[in-house]
Amino acid sequence: MSFLRTYVSDGFYKEGGNAGLTAVKKAQAAGMSINDILAASRNQGFGFGSKAQNFIDSNPEFFKKFVDSGSTTHAGLNAVNRAEAAGMSIDQIRNASKSQGFSFGSQAQQYLDQQSRDADVQDRYQQQFATLQQQMNQQQESYNSRLTQMTNTLKESQAQTKAALMAANQSGTKESVLGVKAATSKESPDIKKLTRAGMKGSFNRQGLRIKGINVG
């Protein structure tokens, strides 16, 4: 597309000639930035009239890249959107305004303010979340520490109990056997029967004595 053929009026058109201020502003109204216009000038080999050149030179770098309204003092919402699409953050756009000496149109300013408020809310949320996460981590660490202490205490108690049992087994101390009691008593019916039959309910040497043997 020929820049001069498209934007220069027929009465002023001259192939290889210059583009005037009117042509530059027509190109901006069609969506071209100053940088786009400068690129077309280099590629197609045309120059600019004095007023057009002064206008181009007076534009801040931000305007050269993103503004197509023809203004040299205010950046509109479209320019801000182009800047964001090109990778600029809201803070970078605001800093460009301060360093390059331009302002924003009303819609652009409202948009920037809203974006800043949203960013503040997000920052506060992230800070609160980070604080909550830190508290949860601290509580978990405290719980783990208490659990470790309880486990160690239990292990120590078990070890002491085991050691005491082993010491008792190794000492050789046993209960003494005092005696064996008979399973029956003198009042037992079986003992009484033996007594009536002339027999005692226990054996001794007298009971084992043999008085006489008849051998037939």
Q: Structure pTM?
A: 0.39
Tokens 């108690």 sit on residue:
157
Q: How confident is the model at residue 199, as a pLDDT?
A: 55
> What ranges do the domains of the chain cover?
3-109
Which residues of the chain, if any, have pLDDT below 70?
10-13, 15-16, 69-72, 122-123, 125, 172-216
Q: What's residue 149's pLDDT?
A: 86
Neighbours of 111 (CB within 10 A): 18
Computed on alpha carbons and rounded to an integer, the radius of gyration of the chain in Å comes to: 56
How far from chain centre, in Å, is Cα 5?
A: 58
pLDDT digits (tens, 9 = 90+) for 4-59: 888 887 666 676 678 889 898 888 888 888 888 888 888 888 888 899 888 888 77
- Please give the DSSP secondary-structure letter assigned to residue 197: T
pLDDT value for 110: 93
pLDDT at 70: 65
CB 103 within 8 A of CB 75: yes
pLDDT number for residue 141: 84
According to the model, what pLDDT value does residue 180 have? 47
